[in-house]
Amino acid sequence: MVTHTNKIMLVYPPGVNFMRSEDRCQINVEASACNAPRACNDLGYISAGLKKLGFNNIFLKDYQVEKLSDNGFFTDIKTYNPDLIFISTTNGSIFYDLNEISKFKRMYPGVIIILKGAVFFDIENSLFDQINLSDVDYLIGGESEFIAPELINSIFFDKENIKNIEGICYKENEQWYQNKITGFNENIDELPFPDRSAMKNNLYINPDTNRPIATISTARGCPFDCIYCLSPVISGKKIRKRSCQNVLEEIKDCFLNYNIDNFFFKSDTFTADKDWVMDLCNLIIQSDLNGKISWVATSRSNTIDEEMIILMKKAGCKLIAFGFESGSEESLKLMKKNVTTKQNLTAAGLCKKYGIKMLGHFLIGLPWENASHILETKKHMFEIDADYVELAIAVPFLHTELFDMVNPDKIIQPDNKDKILGKDSFNNTTCCTKALSERELQNYRKSILKSYYIRPSYIIKKLTSKNLNLGIIFNYVKYGFRLLKNTI
**Assigned domain for 58 exists:** yes
Cα 65 from Cα 25, distance rounded (Å): 18
CATH of the domain at 78: 3.40.50.280
Cα 134 from Cα 92, distance rounded (Å): 20
CA 51 to chain centre: 25
| Residues in CB range of 478: below 8 A, 6 or more apart | none
Question: Are residues 53 and 16 part of one domain?
Answer: yes
**Assigned domain for 49 exists:** yes
Cβ pair 147, 114 in contact under 8 A = no
Q: Are strands 175-179 and 168-172 parallel, antiparallel or unpaired?
A: antiparallel
Question: Are residues 295 and 212 part of one domain?
Answer: yes
> Among 268, 186, 277, which Cα is nearest to 219's?
268
Cα 89 from Cα 97, distance rounded (Å): 7
**Assigned domain for 189 exists:** no
> Among 220, 269, 219, which Cα is nearest to 244's?
219
pLDDT at 409: 59
- Say if residue 476's pLDDT is above 60: yes
Residue 165 backbone phi and psi in degrees, to 5: -90, 115
pLDDT at 356: 97
> Among 449, 448, 425, 450, which Cα is nearest to 438's?
425
pLDDT at 125: 73
Compute the residue count for the chain: 488
**Assigned domain for 237 exists:** yes
Task: Please count the structural domains in the chain.
Answer: 2
Question: Are residues 384 and 324 part of one domain?
Answer: yes
pLDDT at 414: 44
Question: Are residues 171 and 35 part of one domain?
Answer: yes
Domain of 105 in residue numbering reads as: 8-179
**Assigned domain for 485 exists:** no
Question: Are residues 378 and 240 part of one domain?
Answer: yes
Cα 20 from Cα 90, distance rounded (Å): 6
Question: Are residues 227 and 147 part of one domain?
Answer: no
- Angstrom CA distances, 6 to 220, 350, 465, 470, stand at 32, 53, 51, 45
Cβ pair 394, 402 in contact under 8 A = yes
Cβ pair 45, 199 in contact under 8 A = no
| Banded model confidence at residue 123, pLDDT cuts 50, 70, 90 | confident
Any idea what DSSP says for residue 201? Answer: G
- % of the chain residues with pLDDT over 90: 74
Question: Are residues 304 and 441 part of one domain?
Answer: yes
Cα 295 from Cα 223, distance rounded (Å): 24
Last residue of a domain, one of 122, 144, 179: 179
Beta bridge pairs of residue 58: 8
**Assigned domain for 190 exists:** no
pLDDT at 448: 97
Beta bridge pairs of residue 240: 220
| Banded model confidence at residue 408, pLDDT cuts 50, 70, 90 | low
Q: Please give the angle made by the CA atoms of 77, 30 and 403, to the nearest 5 degrees.
A: 95
Mean pLDDT of the region 63-82: 94
Cβ pair 429, 441 in contact under 8 A = yes
Mean pLDDT of the chain: 92
pLDDT tens for each residue of 223-241: 999 999 999 998 999 999 9
Any idea what DSSP says for residue 242? Answer: P
| Residues in CB range of 90: below 8 A, 6 or more apart | 18, 19, 20, 23, 26, 117, 118, 119, 424
The runs of H, that is alpha helices, within 210-305 are 231-234, 244-258, 274-286
**Assigned domain for 258 exists:** yes
Cα 306 from Cα 274, distance rounded (Å): 11
Higher pLDDT, 340 or 27: 340
pLDDT tens for each residue of 138-194: 999 999 999 999 999 999 999 999 999 999 999 998 899 999 999 899 999 999 999
- Say if residue 1's pLDDT is above 70: no
Any idea what DSSP says for residue 431? Answer: B
Question: Are residues 310 and 235 part of one domain?
Answer: yes
Query: pTM of the predicted model, to two decimals?
Result: 0.94
Cα 49 from Cα 36, distance rounded (Å): 27
- Say if residue 20's pLDDT is above 70: yes
Question: Are residues 167 and 215 part of one domain?
Answer: no
Last residue of a domain, one of 117, 144, 179: 179
Last residue of a domain, one of 145, 179, 213: 179
pLDDT tens for each residue of 91-115: 889 999 999 999 999 989 999 999 9
- Say if residue 417's pLDDT is above 80: no
- Residue 392 buriedness (CB in 10 A; 0-12 / 13-18 / 19+): buried
pLDDT tens for each residue of 267-295: 999 999 999 999 999 999 999 999 999 99
CATH of the domain at 239: 3.80.30.20
Higher pLDDT, 469 or 382: 382
**Assigned domain for 229 exists:** yes
Q: Other CB atoms closer than 10 Å to residue 343's CB: what's the count?
A: 18
